[in-house]
Structure 1
Amino acid sequence: MSNDLNSVNIKSGYHHGALREALIAAAEEVIAERGVDGFSLRETARRVGVSPAAPGHHFRDARGLLTAVATGAFRAFGDALEAADREAGRDRVARVRAQGMAYVRFALANRAKFDLLWRKVLIDGTDPDYQAAGDRAFAILDDAVRGALAPIGQNWEGDLAPSMAAWSMVHGFARLAMDGVFGGEDDAAERATEALLPRVLDHLRI
């Protein structure tokens, strides 16, 4: 009986435009289980209960679907940075540290989607929604980093170097944590983030 109900829901959802969201959710499941390189459009369609050709109604190909997944991930990533920044208050060092911690924690909690964000070969980097989501995430970090430098008399207007330095540091740390460099225990990456990342960010000398 439940299978019949699922079939009805899927068909009904398709007619009401919910297929797009269902495909995105299924794609997220596939990459979470198999990694980005193990993604399959056919498997995604199978999990939703539609034919392999059905995703073409909303996405031209696998790249289009993965771009939609990456766009949603970037929006969630930006939300995490924004929430951390808001909680940090106005203190310049606290803002950068809070966003750095949020950055790494998001990566550790959403490994497959975080990996997808930077896989330019697999996604359409010219997609306007993807670009807007990515630009917003970077702008949140950029505002904290360059805004943090203003009180000490530096004029960084138009110079992205400080923000790029912060981004490179935090992204490299996240990648090391994801790759198990800080230990194989379940909480090793989180403990390393708590203990080491603030000290790493101190080298930005902000």
Structure 2
Amino acid sequence: MTDADIRSRLVAAGVDLVEHEGHAAVSLREIARRAGVSHGAPRRYFPTHLDLLSAIAREGYTDLAARVAATVRDGGPDPYDRLLALGRAYLDYAAAHRGMFELMFRHDLLNSGRLGLRDTSLPLFTLLVDLVTEARRPTDAPAPVLAGALWANLHGLAQLWAWGSLQLATGQADDDALLRAALDAHLGHRTSP
């Protein structure tokens, strides 16, 4: 087995562990066990725990980016519809991949500079800014500011929905109305059907 194979197996085992048991369950020993390598192998390929966690989170960003790109591409020509598709993909990913979603946005990982994780996350924000640029009104805040506020709103929706807080507070059975309200709040009420 090559070094690249072992590295890939460790990351894949970490992704599986995060997906099934949450990011808090991630330990070097458990990842090594699941990858079928010695318990010392993770340290040979990832000098710190943050390096391994960053490699795992990077897989999450790659997966989310692919899902968002496909969804936005299929969202049609209207920027509002593509933003709606992006938001839907983001919320769906957060709900279906709770552990990975939480790991991906850990501040210590993003701020550590490990494996260029922040650079891996920025293309998603750039796509959001591009769509907001198309959809915004001339009187709105600059597109990056507006996109940042919308992203914060989407992230808050994802977190509060996962905790059950929004269902309790709003009485909503699904998060679609909240997603549309977030877009309308940031981009103005949509006038087309």
Alignment equivalent of 1:177, drawn from 151, 154, 161 = 161
Equivalence for 2:6: 19
Which stretch of the first structure deviates more once superposed, 39-48 or 122-131? 122-131
Equivalence for 1:166: 150
Contact 1:75–1:137 at 8 Å: present in 2 too?
Answer: no
Q: Note the C-alpha offset of 1:172.
A: 0.6
| Aligned equivalents of 1:205, 1:161: Cα separation in 2 | 12
- Taking the TM superposition and a 5 Å limit, the aligned residue runs for 1:182-197 are 182=166, 191-197=173-179
| Aligned equivalents of 1:104, 1:34: Cα separation in 2 | 20
- RMSD of equivalent CA atoms: 2.4
Report the identity percentage: 30
Equivalence for 1:29: 16
Equivalence for 1:105: 92
CA-to-partner distance for each residue in 1:149-203, whole Å, 9 max, x for gaps? Answer: 2xx445866x52101111011111011122123559xxx99x5123332123211
| Aligned equivalents of 2:111, 2:185: Cα separation in 1 | 35
Shift in alpha-carbon separation, 1:127–1:16, aligned structure 2, 3 A: closer
Q: Note the C-alpha offset of 1:46.
A: 1.2
CA-to-partner distance for each residue in 1:100-126, whole Å, 9 max, x for gaps? Answer: 111100111111111001112256631
Alignment equivalent of 1:48, drawn from 25, 35, 50 = 35
TM-score, normalised to structure 1, is 0.80
2:51 matches 1:64: yes
TM-score, normalised to structure 2, is 0.85
Contact 1:67–1:124 at 8 Å: present in 2 too?
Answer: no
Report runs of 4+ in structure 1 exceeding 4 Å deviation.
154-157
| Aligned equivalents of 2:115, 2:122: Cα separation in 1 | 10
1:115 partner letter = E
Query: Which secondary structure state, in structure 2, belongs to the residue aligned with residue 89 of structure 1?
Result: coil
Which stretch of the first structure deviates more once superposed, 101-110 or 89-98? 89-98
Shift in alpha-carbon separation, 1:93–1:17, aligned structure 2, 3 A: closer
Shift in alpha-carbon separation, 1:154–1:183, aligned structure 2, 3 A: closer
| Aligned equivalents of 2:182, 2:109: Cα separation in 1 | 31
The alignment covers a number of residue pairs equal to: 186
Which stretch of the first structure deviates more once superposed, 27-36 or 61-70? 27-36
Alignment equivalent of 2:129, drawn from 135, 138, 142 = 142
Equivalence for 2:191: none
Equivalence for 1:6: none
Query: Which secondary structure state, in structure 2, belongs to the residue aligned with residue 204 of structure 1?
Result: helix
Query: Which secondary structure state, in structure 2, belongs to the residue aligned with residue 201 of structure 1?
Result: helix
Between Structure 1 and Structure 2, whose CA radius of gyration is higher? 1
1:112 partner letter = G
